[in-house]
Amino acid sequence: MLRSIILMSAIAAVGLCGSAARAAETAASYALPAIVADDAKRLDAAMPSLARQLLADYRDPDRSRDLNQRFRLQLVAGDYAAAERSLDELAATATQGPVPVRLNLAQYRLYARAKALQAGQGLSFEQALPRAFAESIATMDDRSAAVAMRVLNFETAEQPRQQRAMADALAPLHKQPTLDRNAALALLRSYQVERSYAALAPQLPALIAADDARRYLIQRDVAVTTPDGATVCALIVRQRSAPERLPTLLNFTIYADPVPTLNEARRSASHGYAGVIGNSRGKGCSPDRPTPYEHDGDDAAALIDWIAAQPWSDGRVGMYGGSYEGFTQWATAKRRPKALKALMPSVTGAPGLDVPMEGGIFYGFQYYWPFYVTNNRQVDNAPLQDYPRWNRMHRQWYLSGRPYRELPQIDGTPNPLYLRWLSHPDYDAYWQSMIPYRDEFAALDLKVLTTTGYYDGAQIGALYYLRQHHRYRPQAEHYLVIGPYNHVSGQRGTVATGTELRGYTLDPQAQIDLGELRYQWFDYVFKGAPKPALLADRINYQVMGANEWKHAPSLAAMAQRRQRFYLGAAGSDGRNAFAALAPAADSYAEQTIDLRDRRDADRIVPGGGIVDRELDTAESLVFVSEPFKEAEEFSGLFSGRLEVETNKRDFDFNISLYEQLPDQRYFELSRYQSRASYVGDVSRRQLLQPDHRTVLDFEAGRATSKRMQPGSRLVAVVSVLRNPQQEINYGSGKAVAGESIADAGEPVRVRWYGGSYLEIPLSR
């Protein structure tokens, strides 16, 4: 639901060098007087010397990481020619995976060229930058220049973020005058990024505008009237050299930020399409009230009808985009505009299913999203980034025990949109009206390429559309690309996040550029190009730990077999058996949790990495299998049958799966979360009968693929949910948003009986 703010400058600054600091030795120390942290002139004087010290003894065995760090040190040290050579070599090391990653470091190339001209010809930087731009950017072909513009045409919010990052890197100097190598490298990176952009920012807008005017015809603030009298605002970009009529690629978004939207439209135009950005009503030049989700399908369909009637349109439209923009594609497809021929939805939310709640449980982190997208006609970053405010609100709510629907009173600002969502806890007609529902998928004769990641928060939605489309229209040409990506890299690829994700170093084959895949896909649909080679079957997935892509006709076919692991009794170490043989039917593992207890309000949660030495097992049951004798591949969706008994009418729970590696580290695999009363059917709540055994059958909505090592164990952590960051179900049976701590009553008791099992998709 939250937009992935792809600031390629920051990404390039951190992405490839995330592991470099750990690779470097940390024994050396580097002295800097504390006063440089508060004095810009002293800092500028000290940084070149520090950079030269680091260059003298810095090495990383990984050549890409080494070059990524080295060119930064060379820029700060003032060796601009060497920095240009390092940048050239770094570009040549880009991965050649199934869709090669196209590294985008144009901003640093431009800066290095301008500084070299300044030093070599006695120019001011203001004189050198236009010449450097003319030499390096203006000479590029349209496609290369459009990629470069993604880092050159940056958002105004970028520089304050860079300044905060540099302040954080300088903070240790207030305590001691020396930095270890890791801290010194981090400071140099932050300094280099901030100073590069500060130097480029004053002149770049005019240089970019002139370059765009030479290459493209750009129409801004085009107002299109919808059948119900509302207005949607569009941006249209076409190559000056393009044929008279073109297919159109449309991104329909509520994130009406003029910089990234122009970047997207320009890139589509550079590939020979009419690049169009449509904004939700109430955004951009639209005078209407912005209302997320409720009008986007109708409004985007009206815009497509308008596009098809334009003299520059050949009558065919494809849609693309991630997160909310993936939702708008399916919302539009539900209305079936004639000109819409293909989709490429990425990390796609499904309102009512995975946003703003999952398994019927409302998430707290999405409480502030309405302010971000409805406070003005573009985007309001201030509330999005005001983490102290939201942490304070959630903590106060948790400690007070007040009903969840009273969050606006605790915060002090009305939030009618979030309250409207809370009034629809079932997947009812309100949500069903937004996206295709059941047999509506049967009519969707569209070519579709879905991308998502194993660690994407919106994976449930992305797979929901895929599964429903295949179910109701078995012949649908609908492909999936999925790998070890999060909400950002699931729509951009590793060009956006680098080679490491939450402590996990990606296999080389997992490194992929989904921006390049986008145009391979639409060229296949609209221009008769070959189908992208990665799409060898309907389901295309990267096997973590195996460094390979595999392909299957369905999600179920990702695995050779499904093996049951039963929830067993506790052993001498306090951990429960997780075994292939069922224990006695009347045996059980039991949890008892006092939902009134607030002693954990400020608890620091351990773990959090994909690869980590710790797990969060507070108030949880931990089930551990015997070691695998051979390597096993976990690929697909896990499912389960839970035989439970509780003293309440309802409870919320989570099941997380991990591989416990032979060295005792944990590798995050997948998870399932739900309100017990919604398991199996989120369209209506079915309360439990207290103190009676109930069977809950489920299938998880998150897929994964991991090659597990011989000697590894499978670990399941089963938790009854209660925390400050999401709605709390006290089990009274009343509407959960209206329950308070007074409804908690006695502690919740849950018994997981011996007939309970998880079914794991495995292959050898």
User: Angle, to 10 degrees, between the axis of helix 142-152 and the axis of helix 106-121?
Assistant: 90
The two tokens of residue 97 are 């995976």
Q: What angle do CA 483, 489, 490 make, to 5 degrees?
A: 55
pLDDT at 129 over 70: yes
Residue finishing a domain among 489, 522, 556 = 556
Fill in the DSSP letter of residue 536: S
> pLDDT category, 58, cuts 50, 70, 90?
confident
Task: Establish if 208 belongs to a structural domain.
Answer: no
Tens digits of per-residue pLDDT, 457-514?
A: 999 999 999 999 999 999 999 999 999 999 999 999 998 788 899 999 999 999 999 9
Q: What CA–CA distance (Å, rounded) separates 263 from 269?
A: 10
Residues 546-566: pLDDT tens digits?
999 999 999 999 999 999 999
Q: How would you class 243 by CB atoms within 10 Å of its CB: exposed for 0-12, middle for 13-18, buried for 19 or more?
A: exposed
Residues 516, 522, 528, 532, Cα dihedral to 10°: 50
For residue 740, pLDDT over 50 is answered with yes
Q: How confident is the model at residue 156 (pLDDT cuts 50, 70, 90)?
A: low
SS3 label, residue 153: coil
CB of 714 closer than 8 Å to CB of 704: no
Same domain membership, residue 356 and residue 491: yes
What is the per-residue burial (b if ≥16 Cβ within 10 Å, else e) of 335-362? bebebbbbbbbbbbbbbbbbbbbbbbbb
One domain, residues 260 and 297: yes
229 phi-psi bin (left φ>0, alpha ψ -120 to 50, beta other): left
Same domain, 189 and 256: no
- CATH value at residue 655: 2.60.120.260
Shared domain check, 568 and 523: no
- Angle value at C-alpha 216, between 212 and 220, nearest 5 degrees: 85
User: Cis bond leading into 356, ω under 30°?
Assistant: yes
Q: What span, in angstroms and rounded, lies between the C-alpha atoms of 382 and 387?
A: 10
Query: Per the domain annotation, does 2 fall within a domain?
Result: no
Least confident of 356-370, 552-566, 569-583: 569-583
Domain membership of residue 401 (yes or no) is yes
Specify the amino acid at residue 647: N
Residue 281 shares a structural domain with residue 293: yes
Residue 157 has pLDDT above 80, yes or no: no
Lowest-confidence pick of 35-44, 194-203, 267-276: 35-44
Q: Which two tokens stand for residue 155?
A: 């958002």
Output the CA–CA distances (angstroms, integers) from residue 763 to 318, 545, 623, 628, 630, in the order listed.
37, 14, 21, 12, 11
Whether the Cβ atoms of residue 469 and residue 487 lie closer than 8 Å to each other: no
pLDDT at 173: 81
Does residue 1 fall inside a structural domain?
no
Q: pLDDT at residue 647 above 90?
A: yes
Q: Is the pLDDT of residue 169 over 90?
A: no
* Residue 497 lies inside a defined structural domain of this protein: yes
Tell me how far apart the alpha carbons of residues 239 and 268 are, in angstroms, rounded to a whole number: 10
Amino acid making up residue 569: A
Please determine, for residue 298, whether its predicted confidence score (pLDDT) is greater than 60: yes
Position 617 confidence tier, pLDDT thresholds 50, 70, 90: very high
Outline where DSSP puts E strands in 627-693: 632-646, 652-660, 666-675
Which residues have C-beta within 8 Å of that of residue 316, sequence separation ≥ 6?
A: 247, 248, 339, 341, 526
DSSP string, 76-141: HHT-HHHHHHHHHHHHHT---SSS------HHHHHHHHHHHHHHHHT--HHHHHHHHHHHHTTTS-
* 545 and 648 housed in the same domain: no
Structure tokens belonging to residue 392? 């304070």
Q: Which CATH number goes with the domain that contains 270?
A: 3.40.50.1820
CB 297 within 8 Å of CB 328: yes
Domain boundary among 540, 556, 572: 556
pLDDT score for 335: 98
The percent of residues in the chain predicted with pLDDT above 70, rounded, is 96
Confidence tier at 25 by pLDDT (50, 70, 90): very low
If asked whether residues 117 and 150 sit together in one domain, one would say yes
Residues 6 or more apart whose CB falls under 8 angstroms from that of 440 comprise: 334, 472
Last-in-domain residue among 522, 556, 590 = 556
Task: Work out the burial of residue 373: count CB atoms within 10 Å of its CB; fewer than 13 is exposed, 13-18 middle, 19 or more buried.
Answer: buried
**Rounded to whole angstroms, how far apart are CA atoms 335 and 340?**
10
27 has a pLDDT exceeding 60:
no
Does residue 701 form part of some domain? yes
Tell me the average pLDDT of the chain. Answer: 93
Full residue range of the structural domain in which residue 112 is found? 8-202
Same domain? 309 vs 335: yes
The answer to whether 397 and 728 have CB atoms below 8 angstroms apart is no
Number of domains the chain is built from: 5
pLDDT category at 13 given cuts 50, 70, 90 is very low
Mean pLDDT of 705-722: 98
Q: Same domain for 716 and 571?
A: yes
Average pLDDT of the residues in 706-723: 97
Tokens 């985008």 -> residue: 104
Is the domain of 156 the same as that of 97? Answer: yes
Count the Cβ atoms, other than its own, within 10 Å of residue 302: 23
pLDDT at 5: 30
Token pair of 621 as six digits:
């049951």
For 220-257, how does the pLDDT look when each residue is reduced to its tens digit (9 = 90+)?
999 999 999 999 999 999 999 999 999 999 999 999 99
**Is the pLDDT at 24 greater than 70, yes or no?**
no
Give the Cα separation of 327 and 331 in Å (integer).
Answer: 6
- Which residue type, as a one-letter code, is found at position 515? G
Give the other-Cβ count within 10 Å of 181's Cβ. 19
Report the 10 Å Cβ neighbour count for 544.
Answer: 26
Q: Which residue has the higher pLDDT, 35 or 488?
A: 488
667 token code pair? 């590798």
Per 3-state DSSP, the chain is made up of helix, strand and coil in percentages (nearest 5) of 40, 25, 35
Lowest mean pLDDT among 60-69, 462-471, 657-666: 60-69
Quote the pLDDT of residue 19.
41
Q: Provide the strand spans (E) within 371-489.
A: 447-453, 478-483
Among 377-386, 441-450, 699-708, name the one with the lowest average pLDDT.
377-386
Q: Which of the four pLDDT bands, split at 50, 70 and 90, describes residue 11?
A: very low
Note whether residue 37 is domain-resident. yes
Tokens of 351: 């309102």
**φ/ψ of residue 752, rounded to 5:** -105, 105
* Cβ–Cβ < 8 Å for 595, 725: no
CB 351 within 8 A of CB 358: no
Average pLDDT over residues 676-689: 97
- Location of structure tokens 């699931």: 490
Are residues 238 and 260 located together in one domain of the fold? yes
Are 169 and 36 contained in the same domain? Answer: yes
Asked, for residue 298, whether it belongs to a domain, the answer is yes
